Structure 1
Amino acid sequence: MIKKLLILVALLFCASSTFADDINVWKKSTLNQILQSGELRVGLDPGYMPFEMKDKRGRLIGYDIDLAKIMAKEMGVKLKIVPTTFDGIIAGLLTGKFDIIIAGMTITQKRNSKINFTDPYLVIGQTILLNKKYKDEIKSAKDLDNEKYIITAKLGQTGEIVARKFFKNAKINTFDTESEAVSEVLNNKAVAFVNDQPYNAVFMTGKGKNKLIHLDKPLTYEPLAFAIKKGDPDFLNWLNNFLRQIKNDKVQNIYEKLYKKWFVDTSWLRKVQ
């Protein structure tokens, strides 16, 4: 009898310890902290069309902005956007400046060693915008791998990584913003610009029209995802379920509507030009 009682006490102790551990994990969860504070803080780098940018009135708009608004609404909290330069955005997350990165960030193994990614919310690839005067000289991406060519990309983005990987003989110049990097091509100071396919496609409907050529065959396969701190399974679970819901809900068609708004219909360009 005493032996059975001791076993029962031990089982109850283990159960209470497990319950206490679960409570502590939940208290430390970013999701719990967001719900307690009533505010979702999102880190992103404005200037990356059509994901995040400023309109003529200085307001932040874009695909990622709309996603963040929907996310905050589903959580029942306010949204706070924290503008951050892309090359310092992971450090900003790790030091607690914001709760999540929603910035068109590509999943890479190097980044994944520091942070955790959700399931992809969009899949893209890197393409090239070429100065039109080189149309007869350069027929494909491989023709750019020459020491006489200057190629531009945004500092810290996947475009820079891809440019250095694919074009080892060319000179790679990086800039703080996409607009600075692509302007070098427009102003005949560089031959080509490497960036995400959606950005390049949108740019070609505006400033690049009749001036650049879009080599639109993707060089890479790049899943874009939300990024959070490691060791936070509750937040990761919520975010992945959020993505599944908006992608598969055929009644509201949130995912499809967002894609058409920012990647098919380019009327929003009038707001930023």
Structure 2
Amino acid sequence: MRSFTSSIGLTFIAAAAAVLSGCAMAPAAAPVAGSHLDAVQKAAVLRICTPGDYKPFSFQKTDGAFEGIDVDLMTGFSASLGAKPEWVKTTWANLLPDLSAGKCDIAVGGVSVTTDRQKRAFFSAPYMVNGKTPIARCADVSKYQSVAAIDKPSVRVIFNPGGSNERFARTNFKQAKLTLHGENVTIFDEILANRADVFVTEAAEAITQQKLKPGLCAINPDKPLQYGEMAWMLPRDDVAFKSYVDQWLHLQQAGGDFQRTMDRWLK
């Protein structure tokens, strides 16, 4: 476990230097209007979209409360704005549409950075390197060491809808039998019950679930099948809000609070 947590990448965006060309000075930029940074402080509420089905990032318990890495971080982030967190339950398929429609100010819960999402939203600075990793029954680990080994007609690959896991499965597995499973939290039980063989998800989730589900094993989580980064998703074109989010993340990392949150959930 420690080898994985020590490889977590923490990448933060530095302020960019403006480049002036020609002899005349460029006109001053107009101030950003309608930033979520101002709106959240005025309302004293931060609306947070999350699917709430992805341990260890965000998970909704039976009592309706949420827990996980992003939940703890959002509590601190909200407080920095003088706001309280308000959780907006969504699905992976609706996460980006809900953010774009203004139903929330930020989207969290184990969100993978992708260029498709980047076309319609901003991302915070990535806070974790977390690549795609298979999880299977422990007795079958030796069978599924690569994409080619998994992509066979006899292998039953299961995946959840609407996110990067579905995209990875449909892109990489052309011969394996693919099964779309609507509930992320019960996918692991399908493998244990021998109704599926492999699920490819992020390394952090695979490691967490192998602890929670005896009989399942994450396969080479320190050598993922595909490089990936995790970040928070933000409304597009809101530069002021993104700048504040990135600065807050940077200070949390530099001060050690960020790593303590990670260690609490990943060790």
2:219 alignment partner in structure 1: 215
Q: In angstroms, what is the RMSD of aligned CA positions?
A: 1.9
Matches within 5 A, 1:131-150: 131-135=137-141, 137-150=143-156
1-structure distance, mates of 2:231, 2:217: 29
2:17 alignment partner in structure 1: none
Query: 3-state DSSP class of the match of 2:179?
Result: strand
2-structure distance, mates of 1:135, 1:258: 30
2:257 alignment partner in structure 1: 254
Query: 3-state DSSP class of the match of 1:97?
Result: coil
In the superposition, relative to structure 1, how do residues 195 and 137 fare at CA in structure 2: closer, same or farther (>3 Å)?
closer
1:263 alignment partner in structure 2: 266
| Aligned counterpart for 1:243 among listed residues 218, 241, 249 | 249
| TM-score (norm: length of structure 1) | 0.82
Answering whether residue 90 of structure 2 is matched by residue 84 of structure 1, we say: yes
| Aligned counterpart for 1:101 among listed residues 74, 97, 107 | 107
2-structure distance, mates of 1:203, 1:39: 32
Deviation at 1:172, TM superposition (A): 1.7
In the superposition, relative to structure 1, how do residues 244 and 136 fare at CA in structure 2: closer, same or farther (>3 Å)?
closer
1-structure distance, mates of 2:91, 2:75: 21
Matches within 5 A, 1:224-239: 224-239=230-245
Amino acid at match of 1:97: K
| TM-score (norm: length of structure 2) | 0.84
Return 5+ residue gaps in structure 2 as ranges: 1-25
Query: 3-state DSSP class of the match of 1:261?
Result: helix
| Aligned counterpart for 2:170 among listed residues 148, 164, 176 | 164
State the identity %: 25
Query: 3-state DSSP class of the match of 1:68?
Result: helix
Deviation at 1:83, TM superposition (A): 1.0
2:23 alignment partner in structure 1: none
Answering whether residue 187 of structure 2 is matched by residue 181 of structure 1, we say: yes
Query: 3-state DSSP class of the match of 1:148?
Result: coil
1:199 alignment partner in structure 2: 205
Deviation at 1:140, TM superposition (A): 4.0
Deviation at 1:133, TM superposition (A): 4.7
CA contact 1:128–1:141 (8 Å) conserved in 2: no
2:51 alignment partner in structure 1: 45
2-structure distance, mates of 1:80, 1:127: 32
Higher-RCO chain (CA-CA 8 Å, sequence separation at least 6):
2
In the superposition, relative to structure 1, how do residues 150 and 231 fare at CA in structure 2: closer, same or farther (>3 Å)?
same
2-structure distance, mates of 1:48, 1:112: 21
CA contact 2:206–2:217 (8 Å) conserved in 1: no
Deviation at 1:111, TM superposition (A): 0.8
